[in-house]
Chain A
Amino acid sequence: MLNITMKINGKAVSGTVEGRTLLVEFLRNDLHLTGTHVGCDTSQCGACTIHVNGIAVKSCSMFAVEADGASIDTIEGQENTDGSLNKIQQAFQDHHGLQCGFCTPGMVMAAADLLQNTPTPTEAEIRNHLDGNICRCTGYHNIVKAIMAASGQDVSAIAAE
């Protein structure tokens, strides 16, 4: 067993893990941060997307020990400081960008990563960026629209809701 410490959503945490424990397992099972989901076992679905040192990472594709010393952000830390939804979360609600909600944390974290680097992405850039995030419910229309809206673009011309 190995001792690890890291910063999660600004707070220092520590734990003891096996070498084979995945980062997503550490978050969900040891820290009970169950907002990060597991949708596959081949690192394809993106439901487990978090930020590690500011970059979007699939937390099922890392061992917990590899995150020792890292600074991590998860869906649980995304709200504004007053507890309101941040602009991406709010856009997802405004534009009905989620249905069952299972892919949603990963989508929000992936979108945040995109907007950090590409503040005004085109439709194609958004769709390409989401290639590692699968949603089975929405047909993606409203997810893409929400991300465009979150980036400040006028989405009123995109087919109605």
Chain B
Amino acid sequence: MPKDSGIGTSPKRREDIRFLTGNGKYTDDINLTGQSHAVFARSDVAHGKINHIDISAAETMPGVLAIFTGEDFADVGGNPAGWLINSRDGEPMKEPKRPVLAYGKVRHVGDAYAAVIAETVLQAQDAVEAIKADITELPAIVDMEAALAGGGFVHDEIETNQCFDWGWIEDNRAATDAAIKAAPHVTTLSLVNNRLVPNAMESRASTADYDRGTGDYTLYTTSQNPHLTRLLVCAFVLGIPENKLRVVSPDVGGGFGSKIYHYGEEALVLAAAKKLCRPVKWTASRSESFLTDAHGRDHVTKIELACEKDGTFIAFRTDTMANVGAYLSNFSTVTPTFLHGTLMAGNYTVPNVYVNVKAVFTNTAPVDAYRGAGRPEATYSLERVIDKCARELALDPIELRRKNFIKPDQFPYASAAGLEYDAGNYDALFDKLEGIVDFGGFKARRAESEKGGKLRGLGINSYIEACGIAPSNLVGILGARVGLYDAATVRVNATGNISVMVGAHSHGQGHATVFPQVVSEMLGVEENSIEIVHGDTSKIPFGMGSYGSRSLAVCGSAVVRATEKIINKATKIAAHMLEASESDIDFKDGKFSVSGTDKSVAFGEVAFKAYVPHDYPHDELEPGLEETAFYDPANFTYPSGAYACEVEVDPETGKVTVESFTAVDDFGNVINPMIVTGQVHGGIGQGIGQALLENCTYDENGQLLSASYMDYAMPRASDLPFYTVDHSCVTPCTHNPLGVKGCGEAGAIGSPPTIVNAVVDALHSGGHTHVTHIDMPVSPARVWSAINS
């Protein structure tokens, strides 16, 4: 009989009710008594020397309570990078200070150099207008190649614009070079992984409160990881004792990476709240979000694939410049390195891999992890060059991939890029894909399109990602400055219902529904009697939040471990109640029974006994039924997938239409198929956005040209098709208790190359065989130019 609850079922999301009725509580929905408002003065030049900031006129404006400039924070710490990356020569990366407010210099358009706190937003805005900033504009450093060539510096004190020059794996460099030199065939591709703006629909917001009586701070903020934000603010920036700051991230309207990081605005409202002893609120406008949220991608890459004439891969060599923008955001140094370079062996048994990444400071907004974070960049480079190689050797693109796949009996597999893949079956994914997509009918569909004057292309792709971030031991060796475990507390209340406090943070992922499915399965209690608590450092154990498709693989594992501890203790209590030995107690379907008898007690009765311990083994057990577990993963998890799409290209206009899109993914075990499917849909939507529409563009003066929804093409409903999604190919993760791998980023990783491969295929079918590549976004103008070049 199919199950109707627990693991593997799709209960409706309980959190939906409040969102559908307007009862969600996002940060900007929270208003505190007596609150004042912060508005920031932001640089309108990309690079400038601050001579003087005159606030005298602004200070006397109506409603103004305080004005801060960079000098007010000159003595506090900088917002740090979370990973130390060493260059190939062993030199540590350059880490210029990232201050709360700019002083000395402004380094990108939108860089905040002052903040006004006033009674109302409008008064604060008016006062910002009255600040007189004497800033001498300097030549903007925008292009990465020019930045590396020198001239001016974004940070004068480091006397270079290169943050690091990283090699992975440096010891493999010579062998890879030699293999490429000697190879019978080498395919080379230069490409750009276009810069994106994450654009969570809720813009960032932060409201701080300070209690003069107790010295306690509270920060309501749009964060994917409230404990990480607290740690950064306390230990690195403001020096507030951690136990004096409570960080609450309530409902959060999407993150996609951009809300992992600590931003200066959070520190500013905290400092201002203390100074004024009043709550201080700030909400970003969309324009501010475009200018100051951490952007994503922005790689310029050359990749070479060396192979035998029959297509057997010999080596992949990648040379990348990665833009980190004007300041190092918290994950900006790991994203283009370990989250990118370690995936450059893909799903393949290639023996030689070498990756070189130069990270470059420019006068643009910081760039950091955005959905997929490094892995979309890896997959795009690899799968585009493989596609090009297949064309050059006249091999079928699926066959070429299959020929080089790691086979199921080769796991665990040590990849040439330094990871140990624990499980996977890439051929099975393609078998499934070939079962779903009618590849045989493609010719006829192409002919049909041609009748309408359109070119039809078929794109296929495979990917692997490393998720479930991350084993602390390993990342510690690689330079991480934090651990990447997670934590959960399971509190069984006296009346038998359950609160589960988790370190993961849901900003759309559905934890409130999924985590109870796991606990319910283990304890045999109703899902609806289990409540998830998250997003408040005063309520939850210290956890690292949600990103890198880690919530279920890491925090879900902590939930399992804590629930196991509950079962352990409850078994002891039950043994006492049933006057039996603990080893004779069976626990099944929410009932403890003495094996071989009809004696039993229900879970709820045991819980009640734990809290009303009148007749209780006090010498052996403490009262209460609450357990915490911290879980540190043994390895990354490795989701993988096989994707296909068909596009139609209008050769007259260059417009690309996605006709169909199929994603077959192996996420290991699936807890809630409905939610997993939704995550894949969202990822594909963003991936198609990157491939066809989105482009974050600065001009040569460092002005952001795509700073609103009128200039930055967000995917809309009419740009996207229905998708076919399958996750029935399952190789469970071997090292976490649920056998899960994570599904949040897959779609965004797997889809961009699928689309571009299809567009190139379409153009070739139309005889435009000179087109081997078009950079994303594959806009009508670019396609048209490629056809007519």
A101 engages B286 (CB within 8 Å): no
Known: A36-B22, A136-B686. A102 touches B709 (CB 8 A): no
Stretch from B64-72, B648-656, B676-684 contacting the other chain: B676-684
A101 engages B681 (CB within 8 Å): no
**Which residues 705-750 of B sit at the A interface, judged by CB distance below 8 A?**
708-710, 714-718, 720, 722-726, 747
A33 at the binding interface (Cβ < 8 Å): yes
Complex Cα spacing A47 to B203, Å: 12
Complex Cα spacing A35 to B765, Å: 50
B117 at the binding interface (Cβ < 8 Å): no
A75 engages B21 (CB within 8 Å): yes
| Residues from chain B with Cβ under 8 Å of A135 in the complex | 201, 717
B682 engages A138 (CB within 8 Å): yes
Complex Cα spacing A78 to B17, Å: 12
Known: A42-B710, A144-B722. A94 touches B681 (CB 8 A): no
Q: What is the CB-to-nearest-CB distance from A133 to chain B, in angstroms, rounded to a whole number?
A: 8
Complex Cα spacing A79 to B22, Å: 10
| Residues from chain A with Cβ under 8 Å of B387 in the complex | none
B13 engages A93 (CB within 8 Å): yes
Complex Cα spacing A37 to B283, Å: 12
| Residues from chain A with Cβ under 8 Å of B26 in the complex | 34, 37, 102
| Residues from chain A with Cβ under 8 Å of B673 in the complex | 161
B-side interface size class: 35 or more
B675 at the binding interface (Cβ < 8 Å): yes
Complex Cα spacing A53 to B34, Å: 35
A105 engages B202 (CB within 8 Å): no
Q: What is the CB-to-nearest-CB distance from B126 to chain A, in angstroms, rounded to a whole number?
A: 11
Complex Cα spacing A99 to B21, Å: 14
| Residues from chain A with Cβ under 8 Å of B25 in the complex | 34
A128 at the binding interface (Cβ < 8 Å): yes
* Identity of the chain B residue whose Cβ is nearest the Cβ of A126 in the assembled complex: B717
Complex Cα spacing A159 to B225, Å: 33
Complex Cα spacing A138 to B726, Å: 16
**Which residues 55-106 of A sit at the B interface, judged by CB distance below 8 A?**
74-76, 78-79, 85, 89, 92-94, 96, 98-105
Q: What is the CB-to-nearest-CB distance from A154 to chain B, in angstroms, rounded to a whole number?
A: 15
In-complex Cβ contact of A139 among B29, B200, B287, B747 (8 A): B747
Complex Cα spacing A104 to B681, Å: 16
A52 at the binding interface (Cβ < 8 Å): no
A94 engages B22 (CB within 8 Å): no
Stretch from B352-360, B441-449, B507-515, B527-535 contacting the other chain: B507-515
A13 at the binding interface (Cβ < 8 Å): no
* Identity of the chain B residue whose Cβ is nearest the Cβ of A101 in the assembled complex: B19
| Residues from chain B with Cβ under 8 Å of A35 in the complex | 21-24
B682 engages A96 (CB within 8 Å): no
A99 engages B678 (CB within 8 Å): yes
B708 engages A40 (CB within 8 Å): yes
Which of B28, B253, B714, B720 has its CB near the most chain A CB atoms (within 10 A)?
A: B253
A139 engages B22 (CB within 8 Å): no
Complex Cα spacing A74 to B681, Å: 28
B256 at the binding interface (Cβ < 8 Å): yes
B22 engages A98 (CB within 8 Å): no
| Residues from chain A with Cβ under 8 Å of B507 in the complex | 100
30 contacts between A and B (CB under 8 A): A28-B29, A35-B24, A37-B26, A39-B201, A42-B708, A45-B709, A74-B22, A75-B21, A78-B21, A78-B22, A96-B674, A98-B16, A98-B20, A99-B678, A100-B252, A100-B254, A100-B508, A101-B16, A101-B20, A101-B251, A101-B508, A102-B26, A105-B22, A127-B720, A131-B717, A136-B686, A139-B723, A140-B685, A140-B717, A158-B722
With A96-B13, A102-B202 given, name 20 new contacts (CB 8 A).
Answer: A37-B201, A38-B28, A42-B709, A45-B286, A47-B201, A79-B21, A89-B20, A96-B675, A98-B16, A98-B19, A100-B254, A100-B508, A101-B15, A102-B24, A102-B253, A103-B201, A126-B717, A136-B200, A137-B508, A160-B725
